[in-house]
């Protein structure tokens, strides 16, 4: 494939945009080469400015369950745009979408919309702290919850659980209340409670982690988190910005029995438009302004175009829940094909599927936490990614991201990708 136009576009972008991209992973730093600049999407395909066509397994990092330019969602967006782009005032669309989401998630009585997943998590943490009157929070190494200051942390030295800033510009005073535990390790969580002086407001976790590769939490581990939170009066927050409506119609709650106190959502509930949300039972949400003292606001929150896109997408999912079985079957088929291709080439590979989400590691051991994920052969992944891209398969440009299936993908497309995978595995 030729990438001449994308190379030129990247050089031009680099002159006016830091790194040439508006989100770091898009720069292809971990896989090498130049990111294709996209001209348009259609169904399961992306088309770049060089005229190359790709089968798209990124799907805008998750929200496009129905692929690019779904006619129902597109019609809803056009209708909303013709009524006005934004009002900064209430619309019934907000109530309709909130009601649909609340009806599907146990323990959520009320929901507030924001404009991104980062904003949803940031607001949820503030509410948890305001509700409990405590400052400390627990997060897990490898789980990504957006780029707000208190969550940009890295592990301290030795047995210290308190995090250190992982980015310049984040004062240590803003991360000193963030304690780090190991995913799927309940003893590390207990250590956090031992180390906390003033008490822990909340534990936040991706119940299906998607930002260290696809690594689901063990059901027993989630149950133990619930027990610890109940014992200490701590809130349990499920970050389902990625897995909400992707893993199942009810996110992780359609797969595991553990119920959180709060949920953060994003991506998928906007049908491709920028959106986020956080919700909890009424008692907790009543502490949020204007009902309560915990302040949160957003001029474009509940944007009518995003609400219309989200409602159209969600209604299709509610009307046809069998979609999830079909998507999971295709994801399983794809990952089985990847495994077979790797075995034939003598390459170690492990795979995971949750609903329409899939992930793989070039590793000979199962991955249960971030430390395991780091043992992935990232150099081999980079070679694999380049080979697949050059063959018209668009995968996430990081070994620590998740892939997504859309309804626009046919069995024939899956078979085509498996055939390409067999060749690329042999080549690398």
Instruction: List, by residue number, the catalytic residues.
Output: 144, 239, 267
SS3 sequence, the chain? CCCHHHHHHHHHHHHHCHHHCCCHHHHCCCCCCCCCCEEEEEECEEEECCCCEEEECCHHHCCCCCCECCHHHHHHHHHHHHHCCCCCCCCHHHHHHHHHHHHHCCCCCEEEEECCHHHHHHHHHHHHHHHHCCCEEEEECCCCCCCCHHHCEECCCCCCCECEECCCCCCHHHHCCEEEECCCCHHHHHHHHHHCCCCEEEEEECCEECCCCCEECCHHHHHHHHHHHHHHCCEEEEECCCCECCCECCHHHHCCCCCCCEEEEEHHHHECECCEEEEECHHHHCCECCCCCECCCCCCCCCHHHHHHHHHHHHHHHHCCCHHHHHHHHHHHHHHHHHHHHHHHCCCCEEEEECCEEEEECCCCCCCCHHHHCCCCHHHHHHHHHHHHHCCEECCCCCCCCEECCCCCCHHHHHHHHHHHHHHHHHC
């Amino acid at each position: 494939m030729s990438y001449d136009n994308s190379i030129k576009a990247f050089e031009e972008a680099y002159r006016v945009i830091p790194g040439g991209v508006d989100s770091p992973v898009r720069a292809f730093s971990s896989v090498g080469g130049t990111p294709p600049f996209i001209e348009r999407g259609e169904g399961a395909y992306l088309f770049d400015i060089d005229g190359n066509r790709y089968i798209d397994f990124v799907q805008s990092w998750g929200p496009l369950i129905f692929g690019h330019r779904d006619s129902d969602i597109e019609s809803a967006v056009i209708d909303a745009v013709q009524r006005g782009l934004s009002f900064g005032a209430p619309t019934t669309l907000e109530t309709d979408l909130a009601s649909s989401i609340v009806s599907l998630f146990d323990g959520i009585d009320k929901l507030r919309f924001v404009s991104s997943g980062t904003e949803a998590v940031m607001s949820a943490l503030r509410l948890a702290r305001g509700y409990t009157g405590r400052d400390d929070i627990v997060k897990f190494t490898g789980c990504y919850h957006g780029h707000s200051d208190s969550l940009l942390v890295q592990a301290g030295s030795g047995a210290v659980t308190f995090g250190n800033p992982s980015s310049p510009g984040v004062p240590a005073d803003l991360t000193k209340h963030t304690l780090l535990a190991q995913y799927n390790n309940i003893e590390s969580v207990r250590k956090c409670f031992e180390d906390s002086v003033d008490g822990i407001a909340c534990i936040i976790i991706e119940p299906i982690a998607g930002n260290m590769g696809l690594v689901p939490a063990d059901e027993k581990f989630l149950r133990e988190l619930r027990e610890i939170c109940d014992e200490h009066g701590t809130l349990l927050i499920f970050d389902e910005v990625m897995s909400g409506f992707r893993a199942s119609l009810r996110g992780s709650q359609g797969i595991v029995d553990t119920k959180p106190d709060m949920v953060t959502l994003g991506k998928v509930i906007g049908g491709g438009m920028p959106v986020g949300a956080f919700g909890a039972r009424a008692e907790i949400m009543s502490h949020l302004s204007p009902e309560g003292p915990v302040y949160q606001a957003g001029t474009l929150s509940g944007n009518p175009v995003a609400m219309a896109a989200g409602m159209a997408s969600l209604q299709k999912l509610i009307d046809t829940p069998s979609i999830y079985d079909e998507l999971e079957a295709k994801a399983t088929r794809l990952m089985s094909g990847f495994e077979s291709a790797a075995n034939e080439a003598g390459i170690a590979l492990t795979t995971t599927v949750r609903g329409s989400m899939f992930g793989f590691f070039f590793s000979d051991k199962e991955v249960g936490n971030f430390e395991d994920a780091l043992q992935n052969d990232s150099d081999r992944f980079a070679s694999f990614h380049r080979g697949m891209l050059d063959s018209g398969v668009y995968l996430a440009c990081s070994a620590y991201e998740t892939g997504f299936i859309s309804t626009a993908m046919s069995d024939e497309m899956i078979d085509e990708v498996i055939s390409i995978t067999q060749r690329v595995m042999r080549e690398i």
